[in-house]
Structure 1
Amino acid sequence: MKAVTKKFGKLINESLTPYPLIHGKKYTIQGTFYTNKTVQWGTIHVTLAYNFRNIANLTLVDEKLNLCDFTVDLLKLHCPVPPGIYQFNYTDTVPKLFPPGRYYAKATAYNEEGDEMMCLMIDIDIN
């Protein structure tokens, strides 16, 4: 289940494989990102919470990242990023220190004025 708000851009044709994620194994996120405004600079706020025994959500990740560094890693583009459609393919490994279970992830991107450009929320299962 995911929810996305889009003010300056949108995410389409996204996929996460394998799903559910496997503890300690590689995963790939692929998709297409569309932006209708130039991204000069910005931040991305990423949070990841773990549902501990259906009692409490424990925040394991709460990071603010430079959006321009993130676009280099994800899209291989340096800021300013002009309006357009961009393909991405990102591979990483599920950290072994994350226990199996249900996670809630949220990533919110802000432009240089602090305006929300896009927000992505997703529930993730790790086996």
Structure 2
Amino acid sequence: MESLTTDDEELVRAASELLLRAYDERDHRVAAAVRGGSGDVHLGLHLASDRVNICAEPSAIANAAIAGEDALHTIVAVGMDSAGTPRVINPCGVCRELVPRYGERLRVIVDHGGEIGVVSPADLLPIPWVRAQPYDA
């Protein structure tokens, strides 16, 4: 696991500031930030209803795509701890499949047993799901 760079720390701060502004226990529990190839930071927010939850990471990735980013560099998600302080959280299973689709070299900031660092998408999902192919007899 790589150590955080100054840019990584800035990304964590950006996601944390968004979460502090928008946090709602029912509707917005997670915020994410992704740095595009341009260097710009794009934010995302968890969206929830009684039946549907959309993770913050895809929201940030979508915002980067809308802004015209052709590459993504680093992504992070943060959630609130029990003291009301944002902290780095790890991608869920769906996001572990989604993130590599938008950058196999994308750097992912994670919490590994209390140590915050950077891993690759392959580290998150070492044996990814593969779609079954039709069988032609």
The TM-score with structure 1 as length reference comes to: 0.26
Q: Is the helix fraction higher in 1 or 2?
A: 2
Q: Is the strand fraction higher in 1 or 2?
A: 1
The TM-score with structure 2 as length reference comes to: 0.24
